[in-house]
Structure 1
Amino acid sequence: MSIAELNSRAAVTAAPLIPALAERWSPRAFDPTAVVPETALTAALEAARWSPSASNTQPWRFIVARRGSAEFDIIASALMGFNQAWAGSASALIVAIAELEDAEGNPRRWATYDLGQAVAHLSVQAHHDGLHVHQMGGFDVDALRSAFDIEERFLPTSVSAIGILGDPDALPDPLRERELAPRSRAALDEIVIVNA
Structure 2
Amino acid sequence: MSDGNQQLDRDVDGSAIDGLRDEVAANRDPQYDIDPLFVNRWSPRAMTGETLPEEELMALFEAARWAPSSYNNQHWRFIYAEPTDDNWDAFVDLLAEGNQPWAEDAAALVIIISKTTFDFNDEYAPTHSLDTGAAMENLALEAARRRLVFHGMQGFDYDAAADYLNLSDEYEVEAMAAIGERAAEETLPEDYQDQEEPNQRKDLDEIVFNGDFAPTDE
The corresponding residue for 2:101 is: 85
Counterparts of 1:12 and 1:128 in 2: how far apart (Å)? 19
User: Which of the numbers 167, 192, 214 marks the counterpart of 1:175?
Assistant: 192
**Is the aligned partner of 1:75 residue 2:105?**
no
**Is the aligned partner of 1:144 residue 2:164?**
no
Q: Which sits farther off after the overlay, 116-125 or 186-195?
A: 186-195
Offset from partner CA, 1:118-142 (integer Å, 9 cap, x none): 0000111122123120000111122
Counterparts of 1:134 and 1:73 in 2: how far apart (Å)? 18
Matched residue of 1:44: which SS?
helix
Taking structure 1 as the reference length, the TM-score comes to: 0.88
Taking structure 2 as the reference length, the TM-score comes to: 0.80
Percent identical across equivalent pairs?
32
The corresponding residue for 2:23 is: 9
Task: Give the number of the structure whose alpha-carbon radius of gyration is greater.
Answer: 2
Offset from partner CA, 1:87-139 (integer Å, 9 cap, x none): 11010011110111246641011000000000000111122123120000111
Matched residue of 2:137: which SS?
helix
Counterpart residue type for residue 83 of structure 1: N
Is the Cα contact below 8 Å between 1:40 and 1:126 reproduced in 2? no
User: Which of the numbers 96, 104, 116 marks the counterpart of 1:100?
Assistant: 116
The corresponding residue for 2:203 is: 187
Q: Which sits farther off after the overlay, 149-158 or 8-17?
A: 8-17
Matched residue of 1:12: which SS?
coil
Stretches of structure 1 lacking an aligned partner (at least 5 in a row): none
Runs of 4+ in 1 over 6 A off after TM superposition: none
Stretches of structure 2 lacking an aligned partner (at least 5 in a row): 1-6, 10-20, 213-218
Would you tell me which structure has more helix in proportion to its own residues?
1
Offset from partner CA, 1:140-185 (integer Å, 9 cap, x none): 12212222222121111101101111121232333211114x6311
